[in-house]
Amino acid sequence: MTRKVLLVDDDAAVREALSQTLELADYDALTAGSFVAAKDHIRSDFNGVILSDIRMPGRDGFHLLDYTQEVDAELPVILLTGEGDIQMAVEAMRQGAFGFLEKPCASADLLAVLERAVRTRGLVLENRALKLQLETGDPAARMLFGTSSQVEELRARVRSVARTGAEVLVTGPVGSGISKVAEVIHLMSLDSQGAFVKRPAAGLSAEEFTRLCDEAAGGALFLDEVSAMPEATQYAALELIEQGAGTRILVGTTSDLGAQAAQGAFNADLFYRLDVMRVRIPSLAERPEDIPVLFRHYVAQAAEQAGIDAPEITPDHLVSLMAQDWPGNARSLMSAAMRFVLGMPEDVVRAAELGLAEQLARVERALLVSALGRNNGKASEAAKVLKLPRKTFYDKLARYDIRPEDYRR
């Protein structure tokens, strides 16, 4: 989240005092003594908010507000005045000011307004980036949502395996979108113009497998939850693949197929034949920072399907969502978005009932897990990413009963 504030005030002493307040609160303060000096920073891509005095020589705060509205109506402007003029405050809000404060204002009041403003700006810029990604990106960028490093790695992996033409084993937890990832692999392959046929592997006969290969000739056949494929079909599938199936075979599973093969519960030869290229989808617990991005996308999608306007999603809602475990991953988050759109946001309410301390504890645990997942279970590297002393990091792991070895791949 951005922490940048463009501070505009003609009084050098006031600028200095406010700058110190902002820096103590971990904001990055850019200062300007006039509208002219501030103008070059006011752009549609400015990743911060504006805090400006109203009473300034020449172009005043209202002029700055008007100019900002023309450049980017979603760039928050908070106005300051020493006049105590209620009518001025009303006019400022009417013209689109995000907030209005009287000088001198208490630090707590100023920081509270700034916190809301930077959150709002962060969401705006994130939504714009997502929209641009949807409009201009390749299938991996358009269809695999998220901004975390884990999702960036997933997209990169999908792109690399897509053009090989080899068999691919897609793994992931329940509800993580295994079939969607398989479809993206097909769309980015050299045979993307061919058919993409997908079927559950459970109950699939050898004859049906052969027919599906013919149906998907020149394209790709995706078999979901391949661990449930009947034993006879496994032998037939191995033989057909070895002879040349005439289509690319993609399979998905939420199970540990390697362990099943080692235990004799799945044909080991077929497993090794299918496991030429593997793509692993991370769980939401490993990437909690993606929950807001996914939820906003699902809300917009659900609202469009329902034919109604999407309700406002407040930062508090998003924090509550991040505090949850989401064992059903993207699928359960999608269901929650639909309920939210239809006025039944019980998941958010339930999380809010936990109380702030427990919500924050859940978010903290999720961030610890995420850092370990990104660093292959290496605790020292994860601690560096989170900027925590090693002892503090290990104390937190012990508090939440997290074992680094569980996140080694």
Q: What is the pLDDT of residues 160-214, one digit of tens each?
A: 999 999 999 999 999 999 999 999 999 999 999 999 999 999 999 999 999 999 9
How big is the chain, counted in residues?
A: 409
> Token pair for residue 261?
């093969």
168: β partners: 250, 277
Mean pLDDT computed over 69-87: 83
Task: Report pLDDT digits (tens) over 49-71.
Answer: 999 988 888 888 889 999 999 99
Q: How confident is the model at residue 370 (pLDDT cuts 50, 70, 90)?
A: confident
Task: Please determine, for residue 362, whether its predicted confidence score (pLDDT) is greater than 70.
Answer: no
**Count of alpha carbons within 13 angstroms of residue 382, beta-carbon side:** 28
What's residue 83's pLDDT? 64
CA distance 274 to 388: 41
CA distance 168 to 155: 15
Which amino acid makes up residue 104? Answer: P
What's residue 85's pLDDT? 62
What's residue 127's pLDDT? 78
CA distance 349 to 220: 43
| DSSP alpha helix (H) spans, 25-94 | 35-39, 61-71, 86-94
Task: Give the burial string for 95-115 (b: 16+ CB within 10 Å, else e).
Answer: eebbbbbebebeeeebbebbe
What's residue 244's pLDDT? 86
CA distance 152 to 65: 37
Q: Is 36 exposed, middle or buried (0-12, 13-18, 19+ CB in 10 A)?
A: exposed
Q: Which of 145-159, 321-335, 369-383 has the lowest mean pLDDT?
A: 369-383
Please state, in angstroms and as integers, the Cα–Cα distance from residue 369 to each residue in 141, 287, 373, 375, following that order. 25, 8, 6, 10
Task: Please determine, for residue 137, whether its predicted confidence score (pLDDT) is greater than 90.
Answer: no
Mean pLDDT computed over 277-300: 91
For residues 213 and 253, the answer to whether their CB atoms sit within 8 Å is no
Phi and psi at residue 107, in whole multiples of 5°? -55, -40
CA distance 354 to 172: 29
Task: Please determine, for residue 77, whether its predicted confidence score (pLDDT) is greater than 90.
Answer: yes
For residues 213 and 240, the answer to whether their CB atoms sit within 8 Å is yes
Q: Is 19 exposed, middle or buried (0-12, 13-18, 19+ CB in 10 A)?
A: middle
CA distance 264 to 271: 11
Mean pLDDT computed over 147-168: 93
Task: Please determine, for residue 351, whether its predicted confidence score (pLDDT) is greater than 70.
Answer: no
Q: How confident is the model at residue 393 (pLDDT cuts 50, 70, 90)?
A: confident
For residues 320 and 358, the answer to whether their CB atoms sit within 8 Å is no
What's residue 347's pLDDT? 54
Mean pLDDT computed over 133-152: 82
Q: Which of 253-262, 344-353, 367-376 has the lowest mean pLDDT?
A: 344-353
What's residue 97's pLDDT? 87
If one compares 390 and 1, the residue with the highest pLDDT of the two is: 390
What's residue 373's pLDDT? 76
Mean pLDDT computed over 252-265: 95
Using alpha carbons, select from 165, 170, 180 the residue that is nearest to residue 248. 165
Task: Please determine, for residue 394, whether its predicted confidence score (pLDDT) is greater than 80.
Answer: yes
What's residue 169's pLDDT? 97
Rg of the chain over Cα atoms, rounded to whole angstroms, equals 27
* Residue listed under structure tokens 């068999």: 167
Task: Please determine, for residue 282, whether its predicted confidence score (pLDDT) is greater than 80.
Answer: yes
User: Nearest 5 degrees, angle CA 145-CA 148-CA 150?
Assistant: 90
Task: Please determine, for residue 30, whether its predicted confidence score (pLDDT) is greater than 60.
Answer: yes
Using alpha carbons, select from 124, 55, 54, 40 the residue that is nearest to residue 92. 54
Percent of the chain with pLDDT over 70: 91
What's residue 358's pLDDT? 66
Q: How confident is the model at residue 256 (pLDDT cuts 50, 70, 90)?
A: very high
Task: Report pLDDT digits (tens) over 94-136.
Answer: 778 888 888 778 888 899 899 889 888 888 887 787 777 666 6
If one compares 102 and 262, the residue with the highest pLDDT of the two is: 262
Indicate yes or no: pTM above 0.85.
no
Q: Which of 186-195, 255-264, 373-382 has the lowest mean pLDDT?
A: 373-382
Q: How confident is the model at residue 359 (pLDDT cuts 50, 70, 90)?
A: low
